Structure 1
């Protein structure tokens, strides 16, 4: 994610405070002294990442369009939020020439996952 250097991240968050579903998340990010977005490994020169420019009028757009706006806004905020820490575990055991594999992930610190995308995810916990 490489936003244009001219993009005022705080101004975008100030606008997002007007959107009820995510206003508390925007305020939480505005408390930070520095807003440093995550950066991907590739810089795309064809266009910047999609980010919200203003809060749409609920009377003018459909509920599906509003959900897309919310998704784009949450994704934008996730690039500014605390990093998540996830532990990956891979186990390979051989018993009597039979190989058994187990793979798993454990969320050590939910970081941006909980606050930003939590409305759309379901955790499945299985203990082995």
Structure 2
């Protein structure tokens, strides 16, 4: 067992989740948590613990690979543009290039249809433009 795995096992789900969210999403993830503070603070805890403290912290896939899967799934859903924006930024944070994200979204045309791919591509374009002006 590596030191990183031992350290991860000694942390609570909440601690692992907060660490992972910060690494993956940075301020964008924290903005979601902050926005829940006055309406559903318990839901923010659930977000830290389950997706980030349990799933993202698992061995087997890199954060980069997990973001490819997440971007594809959100684009295929076609109803999650705000979450897709956050995960496109997260993909960039964990090492995906704009070209790789674009290819993932184009791939969705085959399995989720052209509307889902187009919506995903336009969402990515918006994120890329926003990041280039910052």
More helix by share: 2
More strand by share: 1
TM-score (ref. length: structure 1): 0.32
Q: Tell which structure's C-alpha radius of gyration is larger.
A: 1
TM-score (ref. length: structure 2): 0.31
